Structures are given as structure tokens and as C-alpha cells.
Structure 1
Amino acid sequence: MKFASSENVDVKKNIIIFIIISLILLFIDRSDNKYFKATRSAINDGIIYATVVLKSPFNFISDTVSSFNNFFVDEKIIAKNKLLDLENEVTKLKNEKITLLLQLENLKKVTGEENYKFETIKTKVLSFKSNILSESIIINKGSRHGVSSGDPIIKNNMLVGKITDVNFNSSYGILITNINSRIPVRIGEKNYNAIAVGNPNNINTINLVFLPKEYSLNEDDYVYTTSIDNIMPDGILVGQIKKDKQDKFYLKPMYDFNQMDYLTIVKMDK
């Protein structure tokens, strides 16, 4: 008669325990019960921040090596970087001017006082995923800080994306180039209404759908958010109309998604 070794028994026990834990986590993730939602948020926060902690030694080594290399950087390169910073600041001011002019124009068209001020939350990007199927980020603010699903994410007065899922101390967001993103916008001086949708064939461009039957777009027209159904604040700069090689119009985002570090969340009145 042969008996199972203790090692095999331990392996089987571990497999059974792993399967049970996986089923419990799957049940919690799929359940709509408010207590399970709280548990799910806590687990998600734990996973996100544990990942950040585990990656921090590698990031520290990488930053140290970069700092050491930067110590020997030529003065011309330093001057060039300072010039780029100034150019970014000028771009930010230009975008703010464009948005302020648009808001002033809207105020002239309406009767009474309209509120364009929203409460904002500064946040840091913990993780950024960029590929053809998923343009998404994880940030270090959650429901504890007043973040809600659907809140817009901006930087330098340009639309970056919106919040999709909220935990206690962290949140998930999708960029405007994400194929699941749907942003109500208006285009150019004629204020054509449309929906900006991520292009599944090119992560750097955005498609425009639900345009009027008769429309005439101009290259370099500015595109802004519109406050239809209170989904977005009115007048946030989204991008510019451009033409591809086939003379087809598309929307090019204004924001450079390679420069995501600190962003701003706009708290919408739900």
C-alpha cells in the first residue's frame, strides 16, 4: 500500500485554498452588495499601493542612475530643457486664454448668471497603461477625497480623460483616446455638436461621430467640451481638427499623454 507524501498533500491543500480564495474574490468583485463593494474597494487599494511599494526600490535605483547621468549633462541640454519648460508654460497660458474667451462668448449669449466654476482635486498618476485596447491610468485619490465616477480629468486646462471606477484611496480613469471614451463636444465657430470617440486603429487620434447631416469642418478648428446633460463642464479644450493623408478629418488631442505626472480632477455636481 502506497501513502501520499506530505509534500503532495501540502501542494493539494494549497491548490484547494487558492481555488477557494479565488472564488471568494470573484464573488466579491461581481456582487452589488454595499458591504462587498467596500471590501472590494479596500482590496483594490491594497493591491494598487502594494504594487507601488514593490516597484519603488526599482524606481529609486532608476532615478538614482538618471540623476547620476544628469550630473554630467551638458549645459546646452539644461538650457534646452528650461526652454521647453517655458514653451509648455506659454502653451498653458494660450489654452487658458482660448477657454476664457469661449466662456466669455457664451456668457454674452445667455441671460442671467451662469456658473463656470467647479471644485477641483489635485492628484498624482500612480500607473499609466497605453496600448491599442486600453488607454488608462490609476491615480492616488478616491472616494475619501470626494472623487466620483464620471469626473473629468484635466491638465493645463486641456481634457485628459474621465474617472471610471473609484476606490477609497485610488481611482481608475480612461483617457479621451480610449476606445470606450465618449465625450460630448462642440466644434469650431459654428458649434457643431458631436461625440468624440477613441480611434481603435490609432491611439493618438480621436473619431467624431453623430455629426449633423450637413456640416463643414475646417482644419485647425478648436474642439471643446459641451455641458449637455451635465456630463462635462462647458468649454474645456479637447483638441484640434486635422486631416489625414486621405483628406479625412479627425480630432487630434491637445494634451501630450507622455507627460502625465500630476493631473486635476474636476468635481461635477451630480
Structure 2
Amino acid sequence: MNKRTGKVVRLATPLKAWTQRFAFLLLVGAAFGLMLLGKIDTVLIERARTQLADAMAPLLDAASEPVATVNGTLEDMRDLARMREVNAMLRAENQRLLDWRRSAIALAAQNAALRDLMKLAPDAEQRYVTARVVADQGNAFVRSVLVAVGKSAGVDKGQAALTGSGLAGRVVEVGDKISRILLITDINSRIPVAVGAAGDKAILAGDNSPKPSLMYLLPNSSVKVGDRVVTSGNGGLFPPGLPVGEVTEVADGSVRVRPYVDWEHLDYLRLVGYDLPGLIADFIGKPATAR
């Protein structure tokens, strides 16, 4: 028995050495042979590959289970960490909102008391509808957009067109289901505004550029870069206080304003109608016998 085993070992040793020496060539030859076999009989190779994949599928599925479990556990841990961060942020935000709510309640009570004391007329009621911008008619000569609402939705000529940032323009044409908005940058746009903390009165005049200018400022006005521009309410076009923009240039008698509206993302507009009784706009619209 030992002699037979020793004989097998003596025969296997040279074979093993020969295999190790020419292993690379054997692998290259085997690969080349498989390529030739695949070219000769593609159906056979494809069937063998499919059968091998089917045979390995249970093993691969079993092997992937622990990996999927570990990945799921890690993802749950990451989600838990994110949830804790979000929860902390929401708690802080909730506390800030509660503080704001208490301040708002106190200010509302104070405002109501002051209004009652001064017998101040209430603010004008608002009627609004939100519409999608469906066409941009902006070119070298016109700055206007079309929105997909009209008379059927209660839109009237002269209503303010607002975004979440500020005043974008006003309604100048109204159809049954579509309206045209003249933007504040249009050369035909003229809006009475108040500038800065002093409330210097001026007219915001569009000139088809991204930054309209201020006209008719008094020589002794204290306008400076960074001043906030809002509607003044003069002329009855808009109520006072609507945000318009910010002064960015004051030089050589020219004052430029950067509107708050993001013209590149003008997707929706809120068309707001203000019931402003007794103002010039209403007076002009009445016949002479009624004045």
C-alpha cells in the first residue's frame, strides 16, 4: 500500500510542477478554446451558460441574503440618524413658530387697540386667483407674460400680479380664459413707489432692462444703495407696502432698482384685486354725471 502511494506521489510531483510552470499558457489556451467553441456552436454555449446561471441562482440568492440584510440594517441606522436630526430641527422650528405665534397674537391685539383708538379704516379686502404662466412674450420691445386665467376666474384689468417675493406687474388685458400681465420692467410700466425708511416718493419706470429706474425723486431725497422699494399707494393703482425691489445703483442722477422677482423662474403668479374705495382709479372709471 505504501509502495503504491509513493509511486502515485512520484508521478504527481512532475505533473504538478509542469502544471504550475505552464498554468498561464493553459489558461490562455482554455480561454481560446472556449472562444472557438462559442463561435462554432453559439446555441450550445448559450444553453450551457443559461443552465449554469440557473444552477448558481439559488447559491447567489442565498449568498445575497446576508448582504441585503446588512445593507438594510445600515440603511435603517442611517435613516434613524437622519430622523433624529430632522426631529431636532423640527422641535427647534416648532419652538420658534410658537414664539412667533405669541408675538403675533400680542401684536394683533395691540394693532386692534390702536386701530380702535385712531378710528382707522380697515385694510382693503383682497380677491385673488393663482395662475400658471403659459407664455413669455419677453423680447427687445415688450416685457409681458400670459397666464391661463381670465374673466371666468374673476380676473379684472389693473389687478396686481405677485410672486412670493414681490410685485411682478399688473393685468392689462383680460380674456375669458387668458390674461396678459405687463411686467414692471416693461418700458410702458409706471408704478408709484416709496423708497427707504424715509419713504421718499418716486415713480418706478421700466425700460425693458432687468433693473428699472426711479423717476421724479426730490433733489434732497436720501436714497442710497440697499434701500427697500415698496408701492406707495399713490394714484390708487396698488395699495401701499407691496414689496417691489432694492436699490442697487445711485450714480449721476440715475437710480436703479433690482426687483425681488426671479424672472428666470416665473412659473406662477397670484393676481390680486384690492377693493380700494374712493381712489383715483375708481374716480376715473365713473361717468362725468356720477362725479
TM range (shorter): 0.5 to 0.7
What is the deviation of 1:157?
4.6
Partner of 2:201: 193
Contact 1:186 1:192 in 2 (8 A): yes
Within the candidate set 221, 236, 239, 1:230 is matched to: 236
Letter in 2 for 1:124: R
Partner of 2:86: none
| Per-residue CA distance 1:104-152 (angstroms, 9 max, x = gap) | 8xx8897514315412111111101222311110111111111111111
Contact 1:153 1:266 in 2 (8 A): yes
Bigger relative CO (Cα 8 Å, ≥ 6 apart): 1
Partner of 1:51: none
Letter in 2 for 1:152: A
Contact 1:121 1:265 in 2 (8 A): yes
What is the deviation of 1:181?
0.5
| Per-residue CA distance 1:164-192 (angstroms, 9 max, x = gap) | 11111111111100000111110011111
Letter in 1 for 2:238: M
User: Counterparts of 2:252 and 2:232 in 1: how far apart (Å)?
Assistant: 29
Q: Which has the larger radius of gyration?
A: 2
Q: 1:160–1:191: structure 2 CA closer, same or farther, 3 Å change rule?
A: same
Counterpart check, 1:219 vs 2:241: no
Q: 1:142–1:187: structure 2 CA closer, same or farther, 3 Å change rule?
A: same
User: TM-score by structure 2 length?
Assistant: 0.52
User: TM-score by structure 1 length?
Assistant: 0.56
Within the candidate set 201, 212, 217, 1:206 is matched to: 212
How many pairs are equivalent?
166
Contact 2:224 2:250 in 1 (8 A): no
User: Counterparts of 2:197 and 2:119 in 1: how far apart (Å)?
Assistant: 21
Letter in 1 for 2:203: I
Counterpart check, 1:182 vs 2:182: no
Contact 1:138 1:172 in 2 (8 A): yes
Gaps of 5+ in 1: 1-96
Contact 1:157 1:236 in 2 (8 A): no
Identity across the alignment (%): 27
Contact 1:144 1:168 in 2 (8 A): yes
Letter in 2 for 1:199: D
| Greater share of helix | 2
Within the candidate set 244, 265, 270, 1:264 is matched to: 270
User: Counterparts of 1:165 and 1:211 in 2: how far apart (Å)?
Assistant: 30
SS for the counterpart of 1:125 is strand
Contact 2:135 2:147 in 1 (8 A): yes
User: Counterparts of 2:270 and 2:199 in 1: how far apart (Å)?
Assistant: 26
Counterpart check, 1:151 vs 2:159: yes
Counterpart check, 1:137 vs 2:137: no
| Per-residue CA distance 1:18-46 (angstroms, 9 max, x = gap) | xxxxxxxxxxxxxxxxxxxxxxxxxxxxx
Contact 2:165 2:261 in 1 (8 A): no
Calculate the aligned-residue CA RMSD, in Å: 2.7
